[in-house]
Amino acid sequence: MLEADFVIIGSGSAGSAMAYRLSEDGKHSVIVIEFGGSDIGPLIQMPSALSIPLNMSLYDWGFASEPEPHLGGRVLATPRGKVIGGSSSINGMVYVRGHARDFDHWAEQGAAGWGFADVLPYFKRMEDSNGGENGWRGHGGPLTVQRGSRTNPLYGAFVEAGRQAGFEVTDDYNGAKQEGFGPMEQTIRGGRRWSAASAYLRPALRRKNVSLIKGFARRVIIENQRAIGVEIEARKRIQVIKARREVIVAASSINSPKILMLSGIGPAEHLREHGIQVVADRPGVGRNLQDHMELYIQQESTQPITLNSVLNPFSKAMIGAQWLFFKSGLGATNHFEAAAFVRSRAGVDYPDIQYHFIPAAVRYDGKAAAKAHGFQAHVGPMRSKSRGSVTLSSPDPKSKPVIRFNYMSHPDDWTEFRHCIRLTREIFGQSAFDPYRGKEISPGSHVQSDDDLDAFIRDHAESAYHPCGTCRIGRADDPMSVVDPECCVIGVEGLRVADSSIFPRVTNGNLNAPSIMTGEKAADHILGRTPLAPSNQEPWVNPRWQVSDR
Ligand SMILES: Cc1cc2nc3c(=O)[nH]c(=O)nc-3n(C[C@H](O)[C@H](O)[C@H](O)COP(=O)(O)OP(=O)(O)OC[C@H]3O[C@@H](n4cnc5c(N)ncnc54)[C@H](O)[C@@H]3O)c2cc1C
């Protein structure tokens, strides 16, 4: 079948959710085009193996930033999933909806109908939540969300330390109250990664009206300003997949703007430089690129209770065997089981710093572990004002795009990151950590002055892998908008973009949940359904926000 009502490019977080919802009533046919292959096997399915697939060219597109001028010319890896489930199949499985104010800000920026009241019903529809605040969470939806067992005492010490430092505690940061220290949530079910492929794509493919085509989408074919299909390369042949109703691009914040530009939609001058005929001059395509950055703050543990003792090949084999046979044990968690969302200073009305805590001292990508027992916080500011871009390097669809984040290009980034380091030291310095605290591994207690902290940040800040914003949603009369609030590409008929590229601004947390929510909500727009009724639930706001950071 090379023709369907709806043709979706990309089976990632948003694409899979759309495949599921668009085919649900059986009235429409759906083709999903995906370049990546199978997600079967322990490297993707076993949660604790999370640092492996992001380093593998089989599962990752292998993108990298340009040398970053504010980070001493460092080139940062920009992993994106190239496998069914997309980035949800190689991500860290942390589940965060985002703060209510993030979505209100989207609406204020022109994304009418995407305020918190509008998106909350979609978060509920998608979830099958285990634990969490009554009345705020979804049950029976495709996406299973759970909490870790938190058996390691260091998780409790982290939350208690936050409380001792005077911060809020929250039992459900995905409920009314994001602010505070508490348990972290995971997209894991029965000990296995619960990606968008498991939650949405596989169930959708069981329906007769959905099919998956393995191929590389080269461009959208547009005739008389209307998208009529997608040109793909599959088994070394160029073919066309026709869309009777619509083409929906859900190829990620890096590949979606690239595909639009190759199809003639983007900044006219840039397209002409590459000899591409301009279909719609949309200067916002590829702009507004943003991300979260984070640092790993590591402390030695005086007690041999951390995961550093199981990073050797023998322990890993034992953990792997237990997982293979029973889907339990240390292989069945991502180890992110405690978290915090806090405000950096008085006057900030909702959290702008996120913490992930793990009872191990190891880089996220698994490339370096501390020699001693240790624990660490991943910490970073949530609302950097730095912006970058995705542009074409060539008109050849196979060429990688040029990715320039301009990380740390705004002076506030430096103030915020210095504060993150000092705040983490304050948390780790609380009495809850007295039984465990050894010396600081990283940055190291000698790193104290602003200049020294800046040097550490320049050398060590890493992407948290949340690029977004490159096909921004907004008002149709805003020249920098790429899609309107129903996700329609402005200036072209029959074409939408719905994935993390449409976010006007990065949300407060990890991006899988808002990307899936985007797919869920876009599906209703595509089908012309009345959106779910807005919620009247009010999020918690710290009554002391004007006078205190805690
Ligand atoms: C290493 C890593 C760790 C992360 N950790 C977390 C975490 O713990 N929690 C969290 O919430 N978020 C995390 N994220 C972020 C989150 O997973 C992503 O933001 C989210 O999955 C993006 O969804 P998307 O639908 O925009 O794109 P994707 O899920 O990336 O989907 C895009 C899909 O399109 C396909 N595609 C692209 N171009 C083409 C083409 N030309 N032809 C055919 N197919 C194509 C891709 O192969 C992919 O399957 C992480 C991301 C990474 C990479």
Average pLDDT rounded to a whole number, residues 433-459? 97
Q: How confident is the model at residue 153 (pLDDT cuts 50, 70, 90)?
A: very high
Average pLDDT rounded to a whole number, residues 229-254? 97
Structure tokens at 428: 């780790």
Average pLDDT rounded to a whole number, residues 415-423? 98
Structural domains of the chain, ranges and CATH numbers in brackets:
1-99+193-291+389-398+467-529 (3.50.50.60), 149-183+293-381+409-460 (3.30.410.40)
- 269 Cβ contact list (under 8 Å, min separation 6): none
> 31 among the known binding-site residues?
yes
Q: What pLDDT does residue 251 have?
A: 98
> 213 among the known binding-site residues?
no
Higher pLDDT, 369 or 434: 434
* pLDDT tens for each residue of 360-408: 998 777 776 777 899 999 999 999 999 999 999 999 999 999 999 999 9
Pocket of ligand 1 contains residue 256 by CB under 6 Å: no
Instruction: Locate the ligand 1 atom nearest the alpha carbon of residue 95 and give its number.
Output: 11
Instruction: Locate the ligand 1 atom nearest the alpha carbon of residue 33 and give its number.
Output: 43
State what percent of residues in the chain have pLDDT above 90.
96
| Lowest model confidence (mean pLDDT) among 138-152, 307-321, 472-486, 514-528 | 307-321
- CA of residue 15 to ligand 1 center, whole Å: 10
Q: What pLDDT does residue 1 have?
A: 56
Higher pLDDT, 421 or 55: 421
With beta carbons less than 8 A apart as the criterion, state whether 209 and 171 touch.
no
Pocket of ligand 1 contains residue 512 by CB under 6 Å: yes
Return the number of other C-beta atoms located less than 10 Å from residue 40's C-beta: 10
Peptide linkage before 443 cis (omega within 30 of 0): yes
Pocket of ligand 1 contains residue 10 by CB under 6 Å: yes
Give the active site residue among 335, 410, 466, 525: 466
pTM of the predicted model as reported, rounded to 2 decimal places? 0.98
- CA of residue 79 to ligand 1 center, whole Å: 8
Structure tokens at 300: 């030695």
- 110 Cβ contact list (under 8 Å, min separation 6): 473, 474, 475, 478, 481, 485, 504
Structure tokens at 152: 């390691």
